[in-house]
């Protein structure tokens, strides 16, 4: 579901179909409910794997898109397993960014040595592609599309990142009402998550998102980070804004065993 003529408010990018559903699928679903136009870019098909085919993964990705309500999704067809940051990868992604002209770019972030090295490489590719997208006098590298600078970059960290990162700033989005959508979108990838694996992933995500949410007084939340400090002109409004809760606001907290 895509057209070169569409524009999106938010564009989220990851190396494989199912990465974004796991890291920030709830937020993507919530953004759609809030009236924003959202686009997903999968850098690779995720194949080959022991469990799937390109046709199966394509159908699963479309079903996950439908469940989340995301309006647009494209796959750039870059090489899985050997995805490496380099000029050709940057040109491909930057071209799509020039076409969609998002106001916010969400990038997965983190090194996952127990999983695919594509995760870390995609982080590098996405950052570089955002810069490439604005370059002038190089339009032939980007299918003749005009330069465009994406105003905002946001990181969606992998929950199993090998590093403990000192981000400049972080925040948590309340996904309590869309948590069922997130879990359903992940389960759409039946080739990757059979019954046993699906139960493990469901258990993990419920625990991970419950922990992130509880830190801010939400039932479930998703963590995000910024490459710079969070900007504000009014401290009072920043910390008092709707949804700007802390653990002190958890209903019934006074009755919880605190050790």
Beta bridge partners of 153: 105
Does residue 178 form part of some domain? Answer: yes
Q: What is the pLDDT of residue 2?
A: 46
Q: What is the pLDDT of residue 36?
A: 98
Do residues 61 and 193 touch, judged by C-beta distance below 8 A?
A: no
**What percent of the chain is predicted at pLDDT more than 90?**
85
* Gyration radius of the chain over CA positions: 19
Q: What is the pLDDT of residue 51?
A: 86
Q: What is the pLDDT of residue 256?
A: 42
Tell me the pTM: 0.91
Does residue 258 form part of some domain? Answer: no
Does residue 179 form part of some domain? Answer: yes
Does residue 2 form part of some domain? Answer: no
Residue 88 makes CB contacts below 8 A (sequence gap 6+) with none
Does residue 64 form part of some domain? Answer: yes
Q: What is the pLDDT of residue 3?
A: 58
Does residue 217 form part of some domain? Answer: yes
Q: What is the pLDDT of residue 86?
A: 97
Q: What is the pLDDT of residue 184?
A: 97
Q: What is the pLDDT of residue 1?
A: 47
Burial (0-12, 13-18, 19+ Cβ within 10 Å), 101: middle
**What percent of the chain is predicted at pLDDT more than 70?**
92
How many other β-carbons are positioned within 10 Å of the β-carbon of residue 77?
Answer: 12
User: H helices within 101-190, ranges in order?
Assistant: 118-132, 179-187
Q: Is the per-residue pLDDT at 76 higher than 50? A: yes
Q: Provide the CATH number for the domain around residue 165.
A: 3.40.50.10320
88-134 per-position pLDDT tens digit: 999 999 999 999 999 999 999 999 998 999 999 999 999 999 999 99
Does residue 259 form part of some domain? Answer: no
Domain that holds residue 171: 10-231
Overall domain count for the chain: 1
Q: What is the pLDDT of residue 152?
A: 97
Does residue 131 form part of some domain? Answer: yes
Cα–Cα dist 49/29, whole Å? 27
Cα–Cα dist 193/222, whole Å? 21
Q: What is the pLDDT of residue 240?
A: 83
4-56 per-position pLDDT tens digit: 789 999 999 999 999 999 999 999 999 999 999 999 999 999 999 888 899 99
């Amino acid at each position: 579901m895509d057209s070169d003529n569409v524009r999106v408010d938010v564009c989220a990018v990851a190396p494989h179909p199912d990465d974004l559903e796991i890291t920030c699928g709830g937020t993507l679903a919530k953004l759609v409910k809030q009236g924003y136009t959202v686009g997903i870019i999968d850098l690779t098909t995720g194949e080959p794997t022991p469990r799937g085919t390109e046709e199966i993964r394509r159908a699963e990705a479309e079903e996950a898109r439908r469940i989340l309500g995301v309006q647009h999704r494209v796959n750039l067809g870059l090489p899985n397993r050997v995805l490496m940051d380099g000029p050709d990868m940057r040109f491909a992604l930057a071209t799509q960014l020039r076409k969609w002209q998002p106001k916010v770019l969400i990038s997965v972030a983190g090194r996952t040595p127990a999983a695919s090295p594509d995760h870390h490489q995609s982080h590098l590719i996405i950052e570089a592609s955002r810069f490439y997208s604005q370059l002038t006098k190089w339009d032939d590298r980007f299918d003749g599309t005009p330069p465009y600078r994406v105003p905002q970059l946001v990181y969606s960290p992998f929950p199993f990142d090998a590093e403990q990162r000192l981000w400049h700033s972080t925040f948590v989005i309340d996904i309590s009402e869309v948590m069922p959508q997130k879990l359903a979108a992940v389960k759409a990838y039946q080739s990757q998550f059979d019954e046993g694996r699906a139960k493990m992933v469901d258990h993990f995500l419920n625990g991970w998102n419950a922990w992130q949410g509880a830190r801010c007084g939400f039932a479930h939340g998703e963590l995000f980070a910024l490459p710079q400090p969070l900007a504000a002109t009014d401290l009072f409004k920043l910390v008092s804004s709707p949804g700007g809760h802390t653990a002190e606001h958890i209903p019934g907290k006074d009755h919880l065993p605190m050790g």
